[in-house]
Amino acid sequence: METISENACFGGVQGVYSHRSESCDCDMTFGLFLPAEAKDGPVPVLWYLSGLTCTHENAMVKAAAQGWAAEQGIALIFPDTSPRGDDIANDEAFDLGQGAGFYVNATQNPWAPHFQMYDYITKELTDLVFDKFPLDVTRQAITGHSMGGHGALTIAMRETGRFASVSAFSPICNPTDSDWGRRQFTAYLGFEEDEWAEHDASLLMAKHGFDGPILIDTGTKDQFLDLLKPETLAQAAAAKRQEIIFRMQPGYDHSYFFVSTFMEDHITFHAEALYA
């Protein structure tokens, strides 16, 4: 692992690191904020998964998360959204290829050799950060925005017992029935739609639910509402009688202005679960 940068931040350290990924067969970069309490021992962790076109840097710089995390003594992990490099498959569209890994393990060429983002997040990067940094593996929560909200919800529901809580900002809720999903799942996973269902938050909610609290925020003026389909997740959660806070925030769009506005709420929500 290589240290790219480390900066003092709200009494702690905001670092950026790179490493060779076996899962993705390329160099990967991630951000990690450690609060001051990490000097004295392992601290709870909140994973933040970013959306389409983002790198590790977007949320690290724009989400206004570190100050609230510092108040709660919580570390933040900002992974990248896909493998990257000149020799890695890509697409001209912004919603497929580099910057658009959708947190799945691709089985189809040309994506399969590198696009193993589910294993990268849930196994390889997890093993690395808990080995190298003072993080408490028994206290983890996860959140994300847009494609990253999709990733946070699906990973939380599939990785049973790992996360104390999950939240999402404007998540893609029903990708198997959305243009932000069907095209990408076909490319990455092939035409077997049964395989897609394991990466659809609404279908996973109906099938499994989540063994903890969930917080969802979506703006009423989100320009991508028809692609996000928040109503499908709300209906599935209601039918499952899932513990959930589901909010449509009046006047807000899909931007980081929206994310940063409600970041305090989300970190406080996760702190309550992590310190319970």
Q: Which residues are catalytic?
A: 146, 222, 254
Sheet holding 26-34, edge to edge: 2-9, 12-21, 26-34, 75-79, 43-49, 135-144, 166-169, 214-219, 244-249
Omega prior to 110 cis, within 30 of 0: yes
Distance CA 60, CA 147 (A): 16
| Paired sense of beta strands 244-249 and 135-144, if any | unpaired
As given in the structure block, the two tokens for residue 257 are 């202005």
Exposed, middle or buried, 255 (CB in 10 Å: 0-12/13-18/19+)? middle
Distance CA 51, CA 58 (A): 9
